[in-house]
C-alpha cells in the first residue's frame, strides 16, 4: 500500500476550503510525543504552536506554558505583526540562556495558522483567537493529529457540536481554556453541592458582567500595514476595517462573539453545570429579556435577565451585573459575590464540612488549565474542561441570546440540540461562513 504524502502546500490549499471529510488523517500521536527520532519523550517536553498571540494569548497562555519546563514553544502565529514581534521576543528571551539540549534555534513566526498545523514537529496548538475562529482552527488541528488547547467559547451551537464530535472521532486531547475548575472556591462549592451539603439543589443564580458602556465607532478606516485584515475576518462576513472592531472590542459584535453572556458565561455557567452534574446535557426551557446595542458598531446584549429550567427541576437564573454564583438548596445555600471571592454560606457551618474519602471528589488541577493540558497530553486522560463540557456550557449562553433576540420563551431538547417546534429559532443555531471557509 502506497502511503499518501500530504505536503505543507497541499495542506494549506485544501484547508482553505475546509469541509468535514476533506482530509482523512488517521489518529496518531506525533513522533515528538513518543520520543522517537531523537525527540525528548513526553515526560520531558510537549512541543507547542501558539495561534493568536494578542493580550490574553501572550500574557496568560504563552507565558504560563513557557513557565512549565515540559513545554516547548516552537512557533507563534498572528495576523498582527506587532503581536508576532512581541511573542517572538518573549519566546526567544525565555530560551536565550537555556538552550534545550543545544538544539533550539529561534521561534518561528507565521501569519497563517495552517503553517503551524502543517508542521510535524508540533504536538499541540494553543488557540487564543477571537471566538469566530475557535471552531475552524480546532477542527483543522484535530484532523491533522494535533491536541488542542482552545480559548472559550465557540460562536454557535452547531460549531460547538462539530468541535466536540471531531475531538472524539480523532481521539485528541482538548482543553476548553478556563481556570475556574482549578480555582479553590469554585471547586469547593461544587463539591459541597454535589455531596448534598445544601440539601437538594433547587436554584442556581449566576451574575455576569454587563456592557459594553459605549456604542463603538463604525466609521471605516484604512487598514494598518501591520495587519492582515482579511485573514482576521476569516469566516466572518466582510465588513470595513475600524479600530473599534478588533483586539478585545470584537466581543461586542455578534459576527464574532456573543457578548458578555458568552464571554463570562463560559466561566461561571461552567461552574453551574459542574455543581448540577449536567456536564453532558442542558436545560429544557429558556426565557430571556435583554437590551441590545443599536446606535453604533456594538450589537451584543448589554443587559440581560434569563431563566432556564432543567429536566431535574433545577432553575438557573443568569443576570448582568457583578460576577457571582449562588447555589440554593432545601437545606441552605452556598456561593460568592465577586470574581473568585471568598465563599459564603447559610448555615455558616456548611463551609467547615469535610468531604469524606468515599464521597464525590471532583476532578481538578491546582496548577491550572495549562498544567492540566500538558499532563493530559502525556497521559491521554481527558482534561478537566473537555470539548463536550465546554460545548454544553456555551450552548446555554447561545440559546439565551437566541431567546432574547426572538423575545419569547423557547423549549429546548438537549438530546438532539434543537428547539422544539420552532424553525425560526433552529435556524439561529448555525451561521454561514464566508467563502472559502466552512465546516
413 burial via Cβ count (<10 Å: 0-12, 13-18, 19+): exposed
Same domain, 83 and 139: yes
Cell representation of residue 95:
530560551
Closest CA to 401 of 256, 275, 304, 268: 304
Question: How far is the C-alpha of 253 from the C-alpha of 195, rounded, in Å?
Answer: 40
Same domain, 241 and 127: no
Same domain, 149 and 46: yes
The contacts of residue 2 (CB under 8 Å, 6+ apart) are none
pLDDT at 328: 99
Residue 127: strand pairing partners: 51, 150
Same domain, 193 and 171: no
pLDDT at 34: 43
Element (H, E) at 46: strand 46-51
379: in domain: no
218: in domain: yes
Same domain, 170 and 35: yes
Name the domain count of the chain.
2
pLDDT at 32: 44
Computed over its alpha carbons, how large is the radius of gyration of the chain? 22
Same domain, 155 and 187: no
Same domain, 185 and 175: no
Same domain, 125 and 66: yes
Reduce the DSSP state of residue 340 to 3 states and report it: coil
Question: Distances in Å between the alpha carbon of 105 and those of 121, 122, 299?
Answer: 14, 15, 46
Instruction: Answer with the one of 117, 151, 179 that is the final residue of a domain.
Output: 179
Chain centroid, CA 78 distance in Å: 18
Same domain, 423 and 306: yes
Q: What is the CATH number of the domain that holds 255?
A: 3.30.360.10
Instruction: Answer with the one of 133, 164, 179 that is the final residue of a domain.
Output: 179
Same domain, 400 and 275: yes
376: in domain: no
* Pairing, β 46-51 against β 71-77: parallel
Same domain, 154 and 264: no
433: in domain: no
DSSP H stretches of helix in 294-408: 369-379, 387-406
Same domain, 251 and 166: no
Cell representation of residue 31:
513522533
434: in domain: no
Cell representation of residue 119:
508542521
pLDDT at 44: 78
411: in domain: yes
Chain centroid, CA 432 distance in Å: 20
CB 234 within 8 A of CB 434: yes
Question: How far is the C-alpha of 180 from the C-alpha of 178, rounded, in Å?
Answer: 6
363: in domain: no
pLDDT at 302: 96
Closest CA to 386 of 270, 282, 284, 247: 270
pLDDT at 37: 38
Question: How far is the C-alpha of 116 from the C-alpha of 414, rounded, in Å?
Answer: 36
- pTM score, two decimals? 0.90
Instruction: Answer with the one of 160, 179, 198 that is the final residue of a domain.
Output: 179
270: in domain: yes
Q: What is the CATH number of the domain that holds 146?
A: 3.40.50.720
pLDDT at 293: 83
pLDDT at 104: 65
Run means of pLDDT, 10 residues per run, the chain, 439 residues: 38 45 36 43 80 96 97 98 97 81 78 98 98 98 98 98 98 97 98 98 98 95 98 98 96 98 98 98 98 92 98 98 98 97 98 97 98 98 98 98 98 98 98 95
DSSP labels, 108-161: EEESSHHHHHT-TT--EEEE-S-HHHHHHHHHHHHHTT-EEEEES--SSHHHHH
Closest CA to 299 of 229, 238, 251: 251
Question: How far is the C-alpha of 236 from the C-alpha of 227, rounded, in Å?
Answer: 16
Range of the domain at 125: 8-179
Cell representation of residue 79:
495576523
pLDDT at 295: 87
Closest CA to 272 of 220, 324, 216: 324
Q: In terms of residues, how long is the chain?
A: 439
Give the position of cell 457551618.
349
Question: How far is the C-alpha of 338 from the C-alpha of 8, rounded, in Å?
Answer: 47
Amino acid at each position: 500500500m502506497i502511503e499518501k504524502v500530504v505536503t505543507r502546500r497541499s495542506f494549506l490549499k485544501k484547508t482553505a476550503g475546509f469541509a468535514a471529510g476533506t482530509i482523512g488523517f488517521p489518529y496518531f500521536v506525533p513522533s515528538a510525543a513518543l520520543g522517537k527520532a531523537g525527540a525528548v519523550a513526553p515526560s520531558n517536553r510537549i512541543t507547542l504552536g501558539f495561534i493568536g498571540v494578542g493580550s490574553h494569548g501572550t500574557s496568560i497562555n504563552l507565558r504560563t506554558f513557557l513557565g512549565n519546563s515540559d513545554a516547548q514553544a516552537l512557533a507563534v502565529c498572528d495576523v498582527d505583526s506587532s503581536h508576532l514581534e512581541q511573542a517572538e521576543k518573549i519566546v526567544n528571551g525565555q530560551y536565550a540562556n537555556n538552550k534545550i539540549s543545544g538544539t533550539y534555534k529561534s521561534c518561528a513566526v507565521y501569519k497563517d495558522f495552517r503553517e503551524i498545523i502543517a508542521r510535524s514537529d508540533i504536538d499541540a496548538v494553543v488557540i487564543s483567537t477571537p471566538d469566530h475562529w475557535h471552531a475552524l482552527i480546532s477542527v483543522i488541528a484535530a484532523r491533522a493529529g494535533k491536541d488542542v488547547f482552545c480559548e472559550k467559547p465557540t460562536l454557535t451551537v452547531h460549531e460547538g457540536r462539530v468541535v466536540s464530535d471531531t475531538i472524539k472521532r480523532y481521539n485528541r486531547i482538548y482543553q476548553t481554556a478556563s481556570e475556574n475548575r482549578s480555582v479553590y472556591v469554585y471547586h469547593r462549592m461544587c463539591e459541597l453541592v454535589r455531596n448534598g451539603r445544601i440539601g437538594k439543589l433547587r436554584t442556581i443564580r449566576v451574575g455576569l458582567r454587563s456592557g459594553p458602556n459605549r456604542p463603538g465607532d463604525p466609521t471605516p478606516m484604512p487598514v494598518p500595514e501591520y495587519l492582515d485584515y482579511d485573514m482576521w475576518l476569516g469566516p466572518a462576513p466582510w465588513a470595513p476595517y475600524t479600530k473599534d472592531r478588533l483586539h478585545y472590542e470584537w466581543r461586542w459584535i455578534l459576527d464574532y462573539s456573543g457578548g458578555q453572556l458568552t464571554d463570562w458565561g463560559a466561566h461561571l455557567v461552567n461552574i453551574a453545570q459542574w455543581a448540577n452534574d449536567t456536564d453532558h446535557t442542558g436545560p429544557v426551557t429558556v426565557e430571556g429579556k435583554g437590551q441590545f446595542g443599536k446606535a453604533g458598531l456594538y450589537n451584543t446584549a448589554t443587559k440581560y435577565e434569563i431563566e432556564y429550567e432543567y429536566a431535574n427541576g433545577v432553575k438557573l437564573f443568569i443576570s448582568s451585573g457583578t460576577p457571582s454564583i449562588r447555589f440554593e438548596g432545601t437545606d441552605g445555600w452556598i456561593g460568592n459575590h465577586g470574581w473568585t471571592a471568598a465563599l459564603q454560606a447559610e448555615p455558616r457551618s456548611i463551609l467547615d464540612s469535610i468531604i469524606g474519602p468515599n464521597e464525590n471528589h471532583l476532578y481538578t488541577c491546582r496548577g491550572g488549565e495549562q498544567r492540566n493540558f500538558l499532563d493530559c497530553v502525556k497521559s491521554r486522560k481527558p482534561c478537566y474542561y473537555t470539548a463536550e463540557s465546554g460545548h454544553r456550557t456555551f450552548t446555554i449562553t447561545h440559546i439565551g441570546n437566541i431567546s432574547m433576540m426572538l423575545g419569547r420563551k423557547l423549549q429546548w431538547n438537549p438530546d438532539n440540540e434543537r428547539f422544539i417546534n420552532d424553525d425560526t429559532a433552529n435556524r439561529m443555531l448555525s451561521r454561514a461562513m464566508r467563502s472559502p471557509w466552512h465546516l
